[in-house]
A and B are shown apart, each in its own frame.
Chain A
Amino acid sequence: GAVVSQHPSRVICKSGTSVKIECRSLDFQATTMFWYRQFPKKSLMLMATSNEGSKATYEQGVEKDKFLINHASLTLSTLTVTSAHPEDSSFYICSAIYSSGRASEQYFGPGTRLTVT
């Protein structure tokens, strides 16, 4: 099956610094990737849709200047949390759409645990 990786799996940073999270589709090309965040005992909340070669589409309430998304190639999307604050601490998960014939399905990365101190 399709495999999506994320790096790093865990990161601790100080308040005010920026953190970059990578999402890679390992064995397929993905023109569309998604970024989610998940709080404890909460649903996954879609943050943005990352489109290769164009600007990301952000969901309502998500600050695009704070969560910078770059989808520079068909296998890599990056999420940069700028000027991180403790309230940005969360579990961030990416997914990529794998299309085969007429069907398409999202495959998820293993997630990145961000802790801002």
Chain B
Amino acid sequence: KQEVTQIPAALSVPEGENLVLNCSFTDSAIYNLQWFRQDPGKGLTSLLLIQSSQREQTSGRLNASLDKSSGRSTLYIAASQPGDSATYLCATGANSKLTFGKGITLSVRP
């Protein structure tokens, strides 16, 4: 059974800092890995989707990498802003089903 872990559970950084959010998973037989953003009381917004054959994806200030062999993914956020404050979840996909981590709650201080 796939297990997805995100550590730490919470992170607080000053505005402007570059930061890396980590995600690890136990079963490397995945179709893809996805990073989501969730604001309090809201649904999920997809940030980046990496297919299993890919190593990374980029969108604006975000870059996500995938290393299937080591069971790891990272989400890099450049020049963080207070508006980036949210919970970031990673999820692995297999057979159309997603397995989620508990998320990392990020707070960017002005």
Contact = CB atoms under 8 A, between A and B. Distances in A.
Contact of B41 (A6, A49, A95, A113): A113
Contacts of A113: 41
A104 to B, nearest CB: 7
Nearest to A106: B98
A56 B94 CA distance: 18
Interface string B37-61: 0000111111001010000000000
B96 A97 contact: yes
B105 to A, nearest CB: 9
A73 to B, nearest CB: 19
Contacts of B89: 43-44
Interface residues of B, number: 23
Contact of A49 (B34, B97, B103): B97
B72 interface: no
Contact of A110 (B36, B42, B101, B102): B42
A111 B42 contact: yes
Contacts, number: 53
A43 B46 contact: no
What's the dominant secondary structure at chain A's contact region? strand
B100 interface: yes
Interface in A71-117: 91, 93, 95, 97, 103-111, 113
Interface of A: 6, 32, 34, 41-46, 49, 91, 93, 95, 97, 103-111, 113
7 contacts: A6-B43, A41-B102, A44-B98, A105-B49, A106-B34, A110-B42, A111-B43
Interface of B: 4, 9, 34, 36, 41-46, 49, 51, 89, 91, 93, 96-103
Given A6-B43, A41-B9, A93-B44, 16 more contacts: A34-B97, A43-B4, A44-B44, A44-B98, A44-B100, A46-B98, A46-B99, A103-B51, A105-B46, A106-B46, A106-B96, A106-B98, A107-B46, A109-B43, A110-B42, A110-B43
